[in-house]
Amino acid sequence: MWDIITNALPQLIAAGLKYTIPIAIISFLIGLVLALLTALVRISKKGGAFYVLKAIVRFYVWLFRSTPLLVQLFIVYFGLPYLKISGLAPEGIKLTPLVAGILTFSLNTGAYCSETMRAAILSIPKGQWEAAYSIGMTRALALRRIILPQAIRVSLPPLANSFISLVKDTSLAASITIVEMFEVSQQIAAQNYQPLVMYCLVAALYAVACSLLSWLQGYLEKVTSRYVSNAN
Amino acid sequence: MLKLEKLNKSFNGHRVLDSISTTFPEHETTVILGPSGSGKSTLLRSLNLLERPESGLYRFDDELFDFAKGFSTKEVLKIRRKTEMVFQDYNLFPHLTVLKNITEGPIQVLHEKSDPAKKRAQELLKKVGLGDKAAVYPNQLSGGQAQRVAIARSLAMKPEYVLLDEPTSALDPELELEVLKVLRQLAQEKQSLIIVTHNMAFAREVAERVLFIENGHVLFDGSNQDFFNTKNKRIVDFISAMTFENI
Ligand SMILES: Nc1ncnc2c1ncn2[C@@H]1O[C@H](COP(=O)(O)OP(=O)(O)O)[C@@H](O)[C@H]1O
Ligand SMILES: [Mg+2]
């Protein structure tokens, strides 16, 4: 059994470093930007044309939160090539597996994280806004200097959870032909007829990665909560 | 000079400020008194545009604004720079050190350079008796210390008026005194103050003018002496009730 493991491990780790981790990180970063923009639109007090934008953004969040990630991946990778838009994309929208994967993961995690960020922003007491307004801040400045720094601390644990979920969810990318870690484990299992060992091994690798992330989460929480601890 | 004319404000159809007209002279301390729910906070917050009355005129020095017409963002910011609010529960920024709480406005809003802003913040901290607290976070302060930082934060903006909404109501008596001492000093320095308070002894000592509000109406608007010598039964009852409370 050691042989099996020592033979497979380098390939699995290579796939993890080449696909799983980069896909997770890139998608999460794009997702965070999307989430922040989405949350800001949703808490905005602007009216007029903003209502349309708000409606679009709400539809986006609803759509990605109420459909399975695997189905989303299939629609983007297998479905969009059949979406023929004359002028824009007469041949259908064909994305490479990697682009389709990152796009879908970003949109999905962005939808979830936007709810986290919106809730975090709304959880900051009204008095913080008022104190910021009182020293002459605009809404944008108050948000940037006073509200968001506090909201980020509040949203750190749920955002970290989202990231950890995303790392595991990247295994779904195997279904759209990306040779990430789980796909590699399947390929090896098909060759060495050791599915139990292979899948337990890949599970252990995910577990190690996620444990490291949990530890990092704990560290970040400690750093960002300097000012809430040791109250007297 | 700050002047209000015929200010009206309702919440959900309930009239909270009813045609309030008054003047807050510069370099004087005005104390706003009245029973709970009479509209004191709403009035004070209207001066800083945290509340927007439906109608009424707002005169600030030579400029006249009409609440019915609303304010441009520029006008709002201008008024807020001249008036600073000190809240009952301090509302310090918990993620910033005491020093940064004070320099945040001058640096971010007034675009002052960092070094002079810090120097002035240190002076203000000394002034409120907290010269050694610059580097701590607000959660390490007592209520009385937090409120003095909040006062220093408001002064850092060099406002024409400091508006204080029951600044000591959340404090234990011994902590209240250290805040009141700072306010007395500001009053003596002729900083324009508008203070909502329930502390009669303090009001009597620092107020040059008293505004008494009941049910959104101005019941008294005049000098300290006239207020505490009035024969108006409602006010006499209020003063004695409040004074008894403080014994
Ligand atoms: N944001 C609000 N929404 C609804 N009603 C309010 C609001 N703020 C104040 N009120 C009501 O307005 C009245 C006056 O309140 P306030 O100005 O806080 O009085 P005071 O400061 O004199 O105690 C009260 O009846 C209060 O319930
Ligand atoms: Mg009040």
Listed in sequence order, the residues at least 6 apart from B30 whose beta carbon sits closer than 8 Å to its beta carbon are B24, B193, B194, B195, B207, B208, B209, B210, B211
Ligand nearest to the CA of B13: 1
**Residue A95 phi, psi (nearest 5):** -110, 150
Q: What type of residue sits at position A200?
A: C
**Phi and psi of A129, rounded to 5°?**
-60, -45
Cα B46 to Cα B57: distance, rounded to the nearest angstrom: 11
Residue B52 in contact with residue B222, Cβ under 8 Å? no
- What is the DSSP secondary structure assignment for residue A89, as one 8-state letter? B
Using a CB–CB cutoff of 8 Å, tell me whether A175 touches chain B. Answer: no
Question: What domains can be seen in chain A, in order of their start residue?
Answer: 2-226 (1.10.3720.10)
In chain B, what residues touch A127 (CB-CB under 8 Å)? 87, 89, 91
User: What percentage of chain A has pLDDT greater than the value 70?
Assistant: 98
Q: Which two tokens stand for residue B34?
A: 């009245």
pLDDT tens-digit series, residues A82-105:
998 888 888 899 999 999 999 999
Q: Give the integer Cα–Cα distance in Å for B85 and B4.
A: 17
Q: Which residues surround ligand 2, an ion (CB under 5 A)?
A: B 41
pLDDT digits (tens, 9 = 90+) for B58-105: 999 999 999 999 999 999 999 999 999 999 999 999 999 999 999 999
- pLDDT given for residue B245 in this prediction: 58
The SS3 of residue B195 is strand
* B154–chain A Cβ distance below 8 A for any pair: yes
Section B157-184 average pLDDT: 95
Paired tokens of A102: 């990152």
Distance CA B126, CA B120 (A): 10
CA of A208 to the centre of ligand 1 (A): 55
Residue B177: which residues within 8 A CB-CB, separation 6 or more? Answer: none
A149–B95: do the CB atoms touch at under 8 Å?
yes
Q: In terms of C-beta density within 10 A (0-12 exposed, 13-18 middle, 19 or more buried), how is residue B188 classed?
A: exposed
What ranges do the domains of chain B cover?
Answer: 2-243
The two tokens of residue B5 are 């004319």
Report whether pLDDT(B247) > 60: no
Chain A residues within 8 A of B153 when measuring between CB atoms: 135
pLDDT of residue B243: 82
Contact B50 A232 (CB under 8 A): no
pLDDT per residue as tens digits for the range A144-172: 999 999 999 999 999 999 999 999 999 99
Place of tokens 């008054």: B22
Chain A residues within 8 A of B154 when measuring between CB atoms = 134-135
| Ligand found nearest the CA of A130 | 1
Altogether, the residues listed in chain A come to a count of 232
**Could you tell me which of A175, A197, A177, A198 has the C-alpha nearest to residue A186?**
A198
Residue B46 has which token pair?
């209207």
Neighbouring residues of A122: CB distance < 8 A, sequence distance ≥ 6: A43
Instruction: Give the mutation candidate from B108, B112, B163 for the A interface (greatest A CB count, under 10 A).
Output: B108
ipTM of the complex: 0.95
Cβ contacts of B84 on chain A, cutoff 8 Å? 134-135
User: How are the residues of chain A apportioned to helix, strand and coil, as percentages rounded to the nearest 5?
Assistant: 80, 0, 20
Mean pLDDT of A110-125: 97
Q: Which two tokens stand for residue A65?
A: 């939160």
> Who among A150, A230, A231 is closest to B95 (CB)?
A150
Measured between CB atoms, does A193 come within 8 Å of chain B? no
Q: Where are the beta strands (DSSP E) in chain A?
A: none
For residue B140, how many other CB atoms are within 10 A of its CB? Answer: 16
Q: What whole-number distance in Å separates Cα of residue A87 and Cα of residue A76?
A: 20
* Residues forming beta bridges with residue B165, ordered by sequence position: B196
Residues B110-118, mean pLDDT to the nearest whole number = 97
Does residue B183 carry a pLDDT above 90? yes
Instruction: State both tokens at A103.
Output: 């796009």
Quick one: pLDDT band at residue A231, thresholds 50, 70, 90?
very low
Q: Residue B43 C-alpha to ligand 2 middle, in angstroms?
A: 9
Checking if the pLDDT of A36 tops 90, the result is yes
C-beta atoms surrounding B66 within 10 Å? 12
Reported CATH class of domain B2-243? alpha beta
Residue in chain B closest to A130 (alpha carbons) equals B50
Q: What is the pLDDT of residues A13-33, one digit of tens each?
A: 999 999 999 999 999 999 999
Please state, in angstroms and as integers, the Cα–Cα distance from residue B175 to each residue in A32, A193, B141, B187, following that order: 44, 76, 12, 19
Choosing from B9, B10, B11 the residue with most ligand 1 atoms within 8 A of its CB, the one to mutate for a pocket test is B11
The pocket around ligand 1, CB under 6 angstroms, is made up of B 11, 16, 34, 36-42
Identify the three-state secondary structure at position B129.
coil
Q: Flag if A131 and B87 touch (Cβ within 8 Å).
A: yes
What 8-state DSSP symbol labels residue B166?
A: S
For B91, phi then psi, to 5°, come to: 55, 40
Radius of gyration of chain B (CA): 18
DSSP secondary structure, A91-111, as one string: T-----HHHHHHHHHHHHHHH
Are A105 and A169 contacting, i.e. CB atoms less than 8 angstroms apart? yes
Helices (H), chain B: 40-47, 73-82, 98-104, 114-127, 143-156, 173-188, 200-206, 224-228, 233-246
